[in-house]
Amino acid sequence: MTIVENHEFPMARTCPFAPPPAYEEIREEEPVSRVRLPDGEWAWVVSRHEDVRTVLNDRRFSADRQHPDFPQLVKGEAASRRPDEERTLITMDAPEHGPARKAVLGEFTVRRLEALRPRIQEIVDGQIDALLAGPQPGDLVDSLSLPVPSLVICEMLGVPYADHEFFQEHTVKVIKQSTPPEERWAATKAIQGYMADLIAEKEDNPPEDLLGRQIVKLRENGTYRRTALAGMGFLLLVAGHETTANMISLSTVAFLRNPEQLAMIKADPGKTLNAVEEMLRYFTIIDAATARLCVEDIEVGGQLIRAGEGVLALGYSANRDPRAFENPDELDIERGARHHVAFGFGPHQCLGQNLARMELQIVFNTLFRRVPSLELAVDVDELPFKDDANIYGLYQLPVTW
């Protein structure tokens, strides 16, 4: 059999509201197929909803990004891999992963997060006050999308918000595809070093914040290491920063383009949580980042995948799979989209997903109620979408009201 890789990955979006056009062709014609990666290696892509869930929830697929055979989506990344790098939750496998995740999960339970609701509401209101007090057009990214999740995660972790410009600047470098590997490494190290210093200050008298409580808890079970906690803090800060911010911006554009959908949540805020799920599905801002390495032969969607082979689980394709979602390319906040894989699936499914849901719910319910005349200040075509980032979104969102 000749082996042909018909496509190169990662594939850029050509429309802000749709996956790359080739996804549909792959999903319908060759749902598990070989593709070419930037370094010239090949990997499988898995594109159907059911198969993506299988890959992300089977122990025969490893998340160990330090493994030499792990599929690399950024050119030159393999050469700069550092085996001594501190492992974070994202790169761990069982049996190491479960206990490490469970050590911090208590901070993210639905009930615990619910207690933060009034404070998040206050933060959202404060940012909208500032937007309305400022000049028109205003930039929604700068005034609302970025500061809300940033303020929230900083308060949770016990990170001074005054330092946000420092980690914002470095976070951008970490997630931009065009950042040279050496620079990405330096940016990662800078944030982790900052975290380690901050944690060191908390060690003597651990405060009542997430990092402080983690120091106490991990000491109690004898597993406390400052560098490991700094790695966790880095992950939570970066993940809590960019993801929700981009979803706020993109969803705002989608609501303004679909006034009938917006009218539904304004009439009944009880529908907003379903709208959040639909927005997550519709945009799937982290797509091919859910790569895995097969460590034991397994058949997926009728295709044998062998140990040592790389796999990209295409979340965006899964979330537009008509087998799982009727009329998948339509934005329909009432469809019941909760089985989407925008937060991933399986043991690595997003730790902060319920925080993100609550932030988005509060923002949508507050923004459109308080600023009913909100409009885009430029055409959608002129908006600076993040075509070059691992996390899709908007650099700026000029609005008037």
Closer CB to another protein, 221 or 373, in the complex: 221
Please state, in angstroms and rounded to a whole number, the distance separating the CA atoms of residues 285 and 250.
9
Q: Which of 79, 82, 102, 382 binds another protein (CB under 8 A)?
A: 102
Q: First and final CA of the chain: distance in angstroms?
A: 61
Q: How far is residue 286 from each of residues 214, 232, 244, 315, 344, measured CA to CA in Å?
A: 28, 19, 11, 8, 9
Q: Which helix (H) or strand (E) holds 44?
A: strand 42-46
Q: How far is residue 276 from each of residues 4, 248, 331, measured CA to CA in Å?
A: 39, 10, 11
Closer CB to another protein, 157 or 350, in the complex: 350
The closest alpha carbon to 216, from 368, 166, 224, 236, belongs to 224
Query: To the nearest whole angstrom, how small is the minimum distance from the Cβ of residue 357 to another protein?
Result: 8
Closer CB to another protein, 350 or 362, in the complex: 350
Q: Which residues partner with 81 through β-bridges?
A: none
Cis peptide bond upstream of 137, omega within 30:
yes
Do the beta carbons of residue 97 and residue 347 sit within 8 Å?
Answer: yes
Closer CB to another protein, 59 or 257, in the complex: 59
Using the contact rule CB under 8 A, the part of the chain among 96-104, 136-144, 241-249, 359-367 near another protein is 96-104
Using the contact rule CB under 8 A, the part of the chain among 103-111, 179-187, 256-264, 364-372 near another protein is 103-111
Instruction: Kindly identify the residues of this chain, within the stretch 320-359, that bind another protein according to CB under 8 A.
Output: 338-339, 343-350, 353-354, 357
Closer CB to another protein, 99 or 180, in the complex: 99
How many residues contact another protein, by CB under 8 A? 25
Query: To the nearest whole angstrom, how small is the minimum distance from the Cβ of residue 183 to another protein?
Result: 33
Closer CB to another protein, 91 or 179, in the complex: 91
Q: Which of 6, 66, 80, 109 binds another protein (CB under 8 A)?
A: 109
The H-assigned helical ranges of 284-349 are 315-318
Closer CB to another protein, 176 or 217, in the complex: 217
Please state, in angstroms and rounded to a whole number, the distance separating the CA atoms of residues 304 and 348.
23
Query: To the nearest whole angstrom, how small is the minimum distance from the Cβ of residue 89 to another protein?
Result: 11
Query: To the nearest whole angstrom, how small is the minimum distance from the Cβ of residue 90 to another protein?
Result: 14
Please state, in angstroms and rounded to a whole number, the distance separating the CA atoms of residues 60 and 46.
15
Chain positions contacting another protein, by CB under 8 A: 57, 98, 101-103, 105-106, 108-112, 338-339, 343-350, 353-354, 357
